[in-house]
Structure 1
Amino acid sequence: MMGIFDLIERKVRENFGDAPVCVHVGNVDECDIKRHPVYSKFRRDVIAAGVKSAPSSRMWESLIAIGRLSDLMGDETWRLVILDCIIPCFRSVSVRVSRDFGAELEEVQSAMVVTALEVWNDTSAGVSPRHVRDRMVKGAFDVAYRKGSCAPPEYPMDEMELFLQSEAPALGFGLRAASIINSDLIRDADFAEQLKGERYGAVLQKHGCMEDVLGYHDEIRTGRRSGSVKQSVMAPRLSRFSISGVKNYYYTSDLYPSFIGLKEAAVVMGITESAAHRLIRAGQFPFPVARAGRSYKVSTKALMHFKEIPDVIVHMDDVENGARHASAGAWW
């Protein structure tokens, strides 16, 4: 039976394969830094940086930040990468505890991973990203020696296998109705879905943004771009598949850049850029930010979540109908 450390390593390598890895914004094509290593080299560099001095390592700061952003979007990919990059320093300790205390190796390793994840969750706020790695390692070492000196297993292997095999559910953004009609309270799902799309289209038309949006819609219709909503998400949440194809659904956040600068984000948040930098250094910024070289990038989705701006799923026909209505057909 494969141990938990090996399961994590295998899962991460399945996720990344031989493709370049971007730890700055998570997407090589959207990153300002153009040279990116494959995962094997990236992992070696991260491990070496952790051994030297994790608190002063920008690489680890970037890794922790992208892990937080990944969690916010309901994706466990980068959390597993973080575990994969600290497992090498877990191995020797787990083997030593198992040998010296006669404890089951799999139980010790499973306890170390569970504790590291608990520390990860406990440090999600109020702790600077540069200190998270060391706290995860310390917590795992402590539980390993406690596991060796006392007995029965509290962390069965099955729990960790379940964590690796299951997909984390997407975290919903808090929706706040923009009109007197609350579409979340409408019993007719088709009508509620249509209303959200038309309302969004009317807002875009009001702010003079529909020309760019129509260009985005044209890319979807011509096949140059596909809608961003997966079939697994659409099945339970969307029912009007027949109106013009399931590929014509997208998240409203797709119309914006994936990341913006810290200066622009600070304006939206109503604080100064210097105050934003102070909050980041203290680990008190209200949501994770990505580190790209000497600068910071802010996830648009994370900023929307903080500002309680709904990232809803819309169909482009509904958006266009709402814009047409708001303009009395002027742009059609």
Structure 2
Amino acid sequence: MADVFDQIEWNVQKIFDGEPVCVHVGNAMECELKRHPSYPKFHTEAVRAGVQPASSSRLWESLIAMGRLSDLDGDCTWRLVILDCIIPSLRSVSARVSRDFRVDCEEIRSDMVATALEAWKDTATGVAPRNVRDRMVKAAFDAAFRQGKATSSERPMDDIEALSWQEPTAQDCKPRASSIIDVDDIRDADVAEQIRGERAGAMLQRWGCFDAVHSFHDEIRSGHRSGSAGQAVKTSRSRSLISNPNLYYYSSDLYPRHIGLSEAAGVMGIAESAAHRLIRTGQFPLPVARVGRSYKVSVRALMHFKDIPDAIIHVDDVENGALHARDAVP
């Protein structure tokens, strides 16, 4: 079934119907330039120009100007063209939000288009034409994530799942007790804590990195934590079936302090090129550190941005989960 993205694309193609596109005066027959691209070629150029630095995108400045002029004439043609040229940037984000939050993709895309149009109206004055496209895309991204968080009937992924999510393979599709239990629905806090830790340990074991985690646990037990880990986490809970109440830590201690911009962009659901553009325009929503020619993003800041809880887990629970996962391997 066609959604709003498809409808916009079809309407624009129907409008031009193979005719040359002129972004200078709107009508190729009246333009002094004699060579004009067909709409598919123009669309490709506009999409490519959209991910370039805003200050160098002359095509988009002309496109925005045509959109404003057509608005004055009560014509929505160029507004539709602008939407059609940003839709490729919105498709992947809408699909990711729909998947991660289990929300209908068509509803998300409709909301993204409506919000992008609101941004178009809000930027009619006081905003340079070269910045309008980025404002529309960012507003659409924000709308998608807001709707996903507000309307999702399922819990979001746990912390370690969200940052390291992978498509399940056939071997990983066997039902596991901890994977079908919603921790948020468990009233006993101790049981929820245990399941959360065991789930993390099981995933670490399946990914083949539990040996490093085991060494990390040895440092906790010896009182000599190093690397990204801080001081031992204190908790008011008094579970009876744990070896030591002082062996808790934050799940973020298992991650590096910083990750590359490419990985961070993947978690955020945007292209790396879009992340670079947002950094250049000062609109990237997270603090970044410049390391040579690359950027690093704080993992904890990324978790906060994605509303990923930095859960407190116990070494016993994590190790038990890893042990169960290892024993389950045929």
Structure number with greater CO (CA < 8 Å, separation at least 6) is: 1
TM-score (norm 2): 0.45
TM-score (norm 1): 0.45
**Structure showing greater Rg:** 2
